[in-house]
Amino acid sequence: MTELDSFNDKLLEGTSRSFYLTLKRLPKSVKGQIGLLYLLARISDTIADSGDSGGEDLQQLLEDYNNRAQGHSDSMPDFSNLSDIQNNPAEGLLLRGANGPIELLETSSLVDQELIRKCLNTIVSGQRMDLERFSDKKSEGIQSLKRYEEMDDYAYRVAGSVGEFWTEICLEHAFDVSPEMKEDMMSSGVRFGKALQLINILRDIPEDLGIGRCYIPIDDLEKIGLSPEDLLSSESINIFRPLLDEYIGRAEEHLDEAVRYIGLLPHNQYRLRGACMIPVIIGKRTLDLLRKQNVLDGKNRVKITRKEINEIVRKVILSLPFRKMSNSLLE
């Protein structure tokens, strides 16, 4: 491992412990590319989520960063001010070391560069829309998406597109399938990504409300007599629960496609199957908690314990050689 690879690996572990659980179990043939895309997207996500930007123009910084990552510019924007205001020290380090992942990208094969840049560009387009939507200085209070279609489009851009990338990079380096099977996997891969993003949106409702963002569409809230501001009160859960259950159902339908996606992977791709199984099982468990707990109670965040996650990982590893055991974990 080169010094640059080691630095990027430390950045990965520091910025996402949950994703790192998946990443470190991927086969070597695709681990580097998937980890690199994650780092590049995490940089852009950190830019877009820096609400208290200290006067920085986040939209311009995001645009300049993407131009550098896409190879349209040789100049990296100055992240020194933005890195200093990050609450998570690992994200500050990520911004200060942003040149590292891009240098690694530029030494990748042309095919890998194209796939990574294509997906990153789609992700950044979703983050750009987020900034435009939630940075209206004229608006007061909490700003919300209007329609479900906007939520679904956002979920595709920032997560469904990763399912496409994941599939394409695996077919490039790990195994082959027929054109028909590839099309099937691409479709299921998109829904795999959407499932995880929708779960994150539901789990993070209080946190997003705290920064003036509501990803639950206003059209749906108004149908049950609620406003985004009403979701600030945990006592609104009884009115909100039917709509929440509806969204949980949609996430479960997407997860069913994720399970189907895993079934399309060659059985002997143990590491790849395991890396896909872990987030699906964690996602299912999170949805169970969302059904039982009051998600609007920001003081008691819906979260799976580290002990539970370790147990899930252990069971997945033990199950991988056996179809029935693997399938039973995904039920």
Kindly state the average pLDDT of the residues 300-317: 95
Q: What does pLDDT average to over the chain?
A: 92
Gap between the Cα atoms of 56 and 39, Å rounded: 22
Highest mean pLDDT among 38-52, 73-87, 122-136, 210-224: 210-224
Give the tens place of pLDDT for each residue, 250-296.
Answer: 999 999 999 999 999 999 999 999 999 999 999 999 999 999 999 99
Helix axes of 237-264 and 270-292: crossing angle, nearest 10 degrees:
170
Reply yes or no on whether the pLDDT at 14 is more than 70: no
| pLDDT above 70 (res 231) | yes
CA separation for the pair 270, 24 (Å, rounded): 13
| Selection from 281, 271, 276 nearest residue 309 by Cα | 281
> Per-residue confidence at 56, pLDDT binned at 50, 70, 90?
low
Bigger pLDDT: 306 vs 122? 122
The mean per-residue pLDDT over the stretch 322-327 comes to: 96
Which domains are present in the chain? 1-109 (no CATH), 136-331 (1.10.600.10)
Q: Could you tell me the pLDDT band of residue 22, with boundaries at 50, 70 and 90? A: confident
Task: For residue range 100-156, list pLDDT tens digits in order.
Answer: 999 999 999 999 999 999 999 999 999 999 999 887 654 568 999 999 999 999 999
Q: What is the rounded distance in angstroms from the CA atom of residue 174 to the CA atom of residue 121?
A: 24
Tens digit of each residue's pLDDT (9 = 90 or more) over 158-175: 999 999 999 999 999 999
pLDDT value, residue 285: 98
Give the pLDDT of residue 25.
87
Q: How many CB atoms lie within 10 A of CB 13?
A: 14
pLDDT score, position 8? 62
> What is the SS3 assignment for 178-208?
CHHHHHHHHHHHHHHHHHHHHHHHHHCHHHH
pTM: predicted TM-score of the whole model, two decimal places? 0.93
CA atoms within 13 A of residue 277's CA, in its CB half-sphere:
28
Segment 11-28 mean pLDDT: 78
pLDDT at 16: 67
